[in-house]
Amino acid sequence: MNEFPERLLTTAAGIERLTELCASLDDEEQVRLRFDDDRELEGVVAARPTVQVFRDGDGQEGYNALLRLEPLSGDAPPHYLWLDRLREVVRLGSA
């Protein structure tokens, strides 16, 4: 897992969108996530993510949020996902 996001959001609209995405991800909820690169993942939200401040290599501040997504079943490791690229959350139920 990369400790730092590839992208930092700095606009009010981007930060507001990120905040809304975090609020839409409830603890232990089963979800299907769709990203801007057409990737889809299903899993269980381990805990609601929070918007956090990060600095890039040049010292510029910006925001992002990291989600731990547990597999729906089996022994697969969890996914750690930066939410700046998340486009859609589909609720599948609760765990």
Q: How far does Cα 39 stand from its chain's mean position?
A: 13
pTM reported for the whole predicted model: 0.87
Instruction: Specify the residue for token string 């510029």.
Output: 60
What's the distance, CA 76 to chain centroid?
Answer: 18
- Of 92, 68, 94, 83, nearest to 5 by C-alpha is 83
> Is the domain 12-94 a CATH 2.30.30.720 member?
yes
User: pLDDT-derived band of residue 85, with 50, 70 and 90 as boundaries?
Assistant: very high
Q: Tens of pLDDT along 36-54? A: 999 999 999 999 999 999 9
